[in-house]
Chains A and B, each alone.
Chain A
Amino acid sequence: MKIFGSISFKIWIYFSSILFISSAIVIYYFPNQQKQSILKYRGNELTELSRTIALGVELSLDVNDFQKLNKSLGYYRNKKSEFDFLVVTQKKSDSEKEEIFSQISDSVKFNFYAIDTSKYLIKSAVFSTQIMNGKVIIGLSKNRVNNEVQKTNLPIYIALVFIFLITVILFYVVARNVSAPINVVIYNAKLLQEEKYELFNIEQKKSTDEISQLQNALINLKDSLLLQKLENKNLLENLEDKITERTENLNLTLLKLKEAQDIAELGYYSFYKNLDRFTFSENLEEKLLIKTSEAKKLEYLKSLIDKEYINEFETNFTKQTTEPFSIEVKTLLPDTITGTFKWFAINGKYYKDKQTETDYLSGTIQEITIRKNAEAELRKLSQAVKNSFNSIIITDLNQKITWINDSVLKLTEYSREEIIGNTPKMFQSSETDLETKKIIRESLIARKSFKTEILNVTKNGNKYWLELYIQPIFSERGVAEGFMAVEIDITERKEKDKLILQYISEIESKQKEIVTANESLEIKVADKTRDLEFSILQIQKSQEEIVKKEKMATLGVLIAGIAHEVNTPLGAIKASVDNLEHLFSLEFVKAINTISLDDLKQVLALYTKLNVLSTPSTIIQRQNAKNLLSIISENYPEIENAFVLSKELSSIGFESMNVDLIALLETSNYANIIKTVKLLLNIQRSLKTINEGAVKSGKIIRALNVYSHGTDQEQQTQFNLKENIDNIITLLSNKIKYHATVKNNIPENILLKGFEDELSQVWTNIINNALQASNNKCNIVIDYKNENNLHFISICNDGPKIPDIIIDKIFDEFFTTKKRGEGTGLGLNIVKSIVEKHHGKINCISNEKNTIFTINLPVTKI
């Protein structure tokens, strides 16, 4: 918005608008004029030409001289790009309709009677002869004229735009130049406002125009402002000096006072009750963590105090008598650094402020934590001693008892008066051990701490055992002042010890009984073992049956897959035999009878070329048919059934337009030739199919034969390992062929000695498992190496990982991960026993990427 108000914009906008409007008028008005004059000129030309041609027509028909007409038509044709059409009409007589005799135009479908005449410039000339009357009409579309005009005008437009832009820029520059000095004044006035005198940058101007006068006045203003500023500065400096001196004296006095307070851990305060405002000495503020003005209120101080002391505190602070008070309070929360609670002694008295006539409380606060802690400690100790469950006796150096706790009274059944002043010998009985007494005596004399057990008697004659701890008491200077005895009643414990001895002897007698019982048990166990052995034999027998069933199940799985594999080629063979019969007996005979020698030659040539190609896939055949259809419909429009033809051609092996196809279509009998070629190809394909089918089914039957032949082997035989495995792969091909791959890398020359059928089961089981686990989608690689005189055969698949928790169990009997009823769980167990039967080992490792079964078998001398 600022821009739109500035002077430069105002100047500039007026000039630019005028320029813009005049340009617009020119650009719009003149082209129109041009168009009109061009139309007029072209119109005249058209009229001339049509008249000339009409004349030519009259000459041709009346005088039989066509040359002039030819010439003027030649002229029209040369200039054809400048016209749109030339039409000759004829009218038989006045009443009859006018119709078109001939026309020259760009489009074959041009219809003169159908055009929009307003879009064209049309001129005509009439001709009349004895033979024919009519009109010669020449037309020119107005669009052509428009285009011509635009083309001519384009450079002018560009020049105009260019001039326009330059002028606008020029005006802009001029406007800026006018407004620049004004902006300078504005800027400097601001500087003065902000007292930034050093940035002031106008110089004294000599010229007398208004703007220069303004600038000069501004300079004068700046000078006087600077002078004023300087005078103020001096005054301030003097004042400051005086104040500094006074302040220093005051500070000194305050410092001394603070020092005294710090030593006493004492601070002073005053409290204005009606304002609820405290003032504290500095050291107090530190101690109480007074940081904000909120903290200088009664409520805040209350919040620091432990609940027990709050009432006393509040009462004294609000009572407002002139009597002084003194209280001791504890903090609510422990100190953050030391972790202990703090104590404070607060003194105070109310005074009257003479100036404001208000009452205020003033006094001291002193920290007394250390004293309070010491008192608490002392209290604790004396409590502990007093209330101890154990008896505690304190004597002087002569063993005269000076203090006892309450437990002594309970224990000994004497009263306090009877005990104080006597020695502890009064508690001993006649049965007290002499040795113990001696130890006590000696240790006391030696002023040493000791422990012992002693038997005492109560006032009423009850005996009791004590554990006695005696130690001397020393004064602060280390001089012995007396003794302290702690006595623990151990009467109960003594009783318990006796009982334990009794139990031990009982246990020893029981042990002897157990030994005899064991001996009779062993005899019973031997009997039971005999029974178990018999049962195991039974189980083994049924296991063998289950193993056989497993074998049969495996065979069954294979056969199911094979049935499908064999039926498919059989189906193809049967159909092909059928076809051959039909093709030969009906079609072939017919063809031979009807074909001509020439055609036959072509058929054979074409057949020879095509029968070496393999039959294309269905997708490609359809694609080729589409290609051929488009080519044929375009180039051979006279062929009616192009669709069927292109299908036939693609089925016999044509893909696109080639030399052979062109030659074929030129022959008039091409349909018959194609039919015969197709016949021959079908015969050949049927034969091929039969062959392929026979090979396929033979392979599978042979594989099955090999597999089942060996199920009842009794002796070890020698066989080729690669073939053995290939066989299994063939038998499982029904499962493999869709989404899995199996690669057999066993070298050709490896011979094994063993039971061929059993080892077949090993490969079958492992491969089948891999396929099942991966839903027939894995890639299996079978590798071989010979090391340490062992055959190492590894079967690796990239299916799912066998979890770590079950991999150790996979070879176990009856272990299966399949649902109940789906697997016997014996597959891998049998595999393992077969491998071990051949003196080999099998193991399995599995990770996210691969699962590898490794079988090693000893190399036997062949």
Chain B
Amino acid sequence: MGAGHAHKLYRHGHSPVHGLPPHTKLAAVLGFVVVVVSTPREAVWAFALYAALLAAVAAKARIPAGFLLKRLLIEIPFVAFALLMPFVVPGERTEVLGLPLSVPGLWGAWNVLAKGTLGVAASVLLASTTELRALVLGLQRLKLPPLLVQIASFMIRYGDVITDEMRRMSVARRSRGFEAKGVRHWGVLAKSAGALFIRSYERGERVHLAMVSRGYTGTMPVIDEATATRAQWAYAAALPLSALLICLLGRTTA
């Protein structure tokens, strides 16, 4: 918490993308991802155009490519799965570099890789141009149930506190010579988790009491009402609408 309230994923800036109201950005990303997912996989060029669209947004938001690519690494487990697919899917075979690979498997791998990567890139762009608090407000504006929004905002606020607590416990364990090497050490980790739960829960109770004593009645007051003008909506809609156009073109040609 010492480093201010911005999360690590957020990249501070004053670009037009940063300035958009959060709920328009959320809606735009969701619309974009839905369009990408419903594009037929045979329209290879469409995915290249989607990537170009995202690159244009990143350039507009002044997010460096290295930052974006580093964050894409989260996808690696599924990349491994996609790479296995050409070997396990039955069907027509083709020779690539002397390896017998299945054609439907290659298509499947391409499908998962292309759509998954575009989805991750869109989410990364959203998270790096929107502050946490604004994201939660955006969810609220998009009519997520208020209780869910509150749970999410408490989770975000105390997430760092709890994670730091866990990190301190880990430092304490290691400074006493503990190293989790195998099954024998599961007990120690589990006791840490138990202690962490008790601490989180008791903190929750204290926070609740503190809030009640300050007049909390079950809803949080909204101080900064974020509204979006028609122009802002139109600006945010540029991404999903151009994607939709590409998707329709892809459907007619594929």
Tell me, yes or no, whether A binds B: no
Spell out B's residues near A (CB within 8 Å): none
